[in-house]
Structure 1
């Protein structure tokens, strides 16, 4: 026990020494999202670990620390189960960046995921915490057959702020980062956030100013697709 504590203390001291002499900055990140969206896998990838097929669901909070290019990164990997979502807000005051993960392949949970994201955007609006929204698992989304595409899937209007009704026939559209950006309510052109205000009779939109850095990427943690774009965006903060 004593040796383990001493080793932990030495590792912590060494990390601090490295942060002073080798790294330009320290960055604390909260990675949140619904269960099975790829939060732990992304944490591993940012830390240089290979993809693992089976990962244990995070219970509560798991903290990791590693170097990423010239930055010392501290990641709070927060559990996505409903009983742990109350922990998300507690970490917001501790971090420099919030990464919100979405499983784009699971159409059954997309509405809930988008709704939770809107709440997080509202909660962090005043503090202007930078956000990175990642649509994960694009490798698991099947492209529709050509005939089905022509017959049943409408053309997407990139200039409209109206959200799509996503189901198995059109979920492939979310693989496009521009489409996902609109779907989560981020209007980069006009620097606005479109937050749904649900009521029993209507669904109005609250328009907020986009007063912080926000980016939206689509990727696959399984095959590493677009991970370099994610890393480049993180280290430039």
Structure 2
């Protein structure tokens, strides 16, 4: 026969489970944007718990997904990256709690355009202080320059950036022999003109224009949606918002 203590513990356990689903669940709307073939749809699938798929159909317009992530009820807008659909991005900005910007780090020919688009997105949404997650994807498709070289992922808060110094990071020339450097969050942040420690955007990069203060949550990750590299870290960052 179950004693009162065990019965009470059982009821508390059931109550916590029910409450975590119906009472404590937050709603989170996310816009996933970036140029075509940057891995947006694949990331959304991974975020929803689906396995990686080699072939995905290019998104046309907007696709939405609803699922649970941690204690969050998530509504994701997967927006097409083709030029003719990019005006749709702005329409979603005032409806979301997080913007995810995907970059294909392995596509040398699209990097400049992708970086420029990102700068415009930051400027356009900065006053609204919408949290921004920048994901440099497809690191698996970029060979390392040095055998067994390890790259780490870092994001805000500042406690995770103890050795980060934007001013001392070298800006590399975008060419095939240097793509491996973008696997480093530090190097990618420099290339984007984003000072993570001081939360500043240097626009245009290298000019005398005053940096733009970034009064918002912002993080940069370098990942591989194909291998799952650092995707768990990305999910952990999202659920803590």
State the TM bucket, normalised to the shorter chain.
Answer: 0.7 to 0.9
**Superposition map of 1:162-201 within 5 A:** 163-196=171-204
Q: TM-score, normalised by structure 2?
A: 0.80
- Structure 2 segments unaligned to the other structure (5+ residues): 1-17, 148-164
Q: TM-score, normalised by structure 1?
A: 0.81
How many residue pairs align between the two structures?
207
Q: How far 1:164 sits from its partner (Å)?
A: 2.7
- Work out whether residues 136 and 219 of structure 1, in 8 Å CA contact, stay in contact via their aligned partners in 2: yes
Tell me the residue number matched to 1:141.
142
Tell me the residue number matched to 1:104.
105
**Superposition map of 1:1-237 within 5 A:** 21=22, 23-144=24-145, 159-160=167-168, 163-196=171-204, 204-237=208-241
- Computed over aligned residues only, the root mean square deviation of the Cα atoms, in angstroms, reads 2.2
Q: How far 1:93 sits from its partner (Å)?
A: 0.3
Q: 1:20 to 1:85 in 2, by over 3 A?
A: same
Q: How far 1:25 sits from its partner (Å)?
A: 0.4
Provide the C-alpha distance between the structure 2 equivalents of 1:49 and 1:68, rounded to a whole number of angstroms: 12
Provide the C-alpha distance between the structure 1 equivalents of 2:124 and 2:168, rounded to a whole number of angstroms: 25
* Runs of at least 4 residues off by over 6 Å: 17-20
- Structure 1 segments unaligned to the other structure (5+ residues): 1-16, 147-156
Q: 1:37 to 1:206 in 2, by over 3 A?
A: farther
Tell me the residue number matched to 2:5.
none
**Normalized per residue, which structure has more strand?**
1
